Amino acid sequence: MSTVTKKVSNYVRKKGFNLSKMSRETGVPYSALYSSLCDDERERSLRDDEFIAVCNFLNVNPMVFAEEKEVV
């Protein structure tokens, strides 16, 4: 799992976002979101288009996750 995906995963978990709702609103399959953001054993990174869609859903600038510090 990439560092950026790990940061997105931590952010989603801390904020308690619903993956089903995220899937419906972004068009990213639930299984892809779950594998990338919740299943630590799969270590699947978000694809570029998925990452942008998730950032839009979260209303967070994608560059925030690229910075070195932890996203709060």
Q: Is residue 21 part of a domain?
A: yes
Confidence of residue 66 (pLDDT cuts 50, 70, 90): confident
Answer yes or no: are the C-beta atoms of 53 and 28 closer than 8 Å. Answer: yes
Cβ burial, residue 62 (10 Å; 0-12/13-18/19+): middle
Please compute, for residue 3, the number of CA atoms within 13 A of its CA located in the half-sphere on the CB side: 9
Count of domains forming the chain: 1
Any domain includes 71: no
pTM for the whole thing? 0.86
CATH assignment of the domain containing 33: 1.10.260
Is 69 within a domain? no
Range of the domain at 23: 3-63
Domain assignment present for 26: yes
32 part of a folded domain: yes
Per residue in 13-48, pLDDT tens?
999 999 999 999 999 999 999 999 998 888 899 999
Provide the pLDDT for residue 24: 97
Q: From CA 67, how far away is CA 51, in angstroms rounded?
A: 15
